[in-house]
Amino acid sequence: MWDSLYPYFLWIENTRLGHGIRESKWTFTLSEVVHLLGLTVLLGTMLLLALRLFGFVLQKKSVASIAHELKPLSIGALGVTLLTGTLLFTSEATKCWGNIAFRYKMLFLFLALLFQFTGLQKVARAEDRRFSPLTRKVTAFVAVFLWFGVAVAGRAIAFF
Where do contacts with ligand HEM occur on this chain (CB under 6 A)? 32, 35-36, 39, 78, 81-82, 85-86, 88-89, 92, 96, 109, 150-151, 154-155, 157-158
Contact (CB, 8 A) for 100 and 160: yes
Instruction: Quote the least distance from Cβ 156 to ligand HEM, whole Å.
Output: 8
Instruction: Quote the least distance from Cβ 69 to ligand HEM, whole Å.
Output: 21
Contact (CB, 8 A) for 137 and 54: yes
Identify which of residues 50 and 96 has a Cβ nearer to ligand HEM in the complex: 96
Identify which of residues 13 and 136 has a Cβ nearer to ligand HEM in the complex: 13
Identify which of residues 130 and 141 has a Cβ nearer to ligand HEM in the complex: 141
Instruction: Quote the least distance from Cβ 49 to ligand HEM, whole Å.
Output: 16
Identify which of residues 35 and 52 has a Cβ nearer to ligand HEM in the complex: 35
Instruction: Quote the least distance from Cβ 10 to ligand HEM, whole Å.
Output: 15
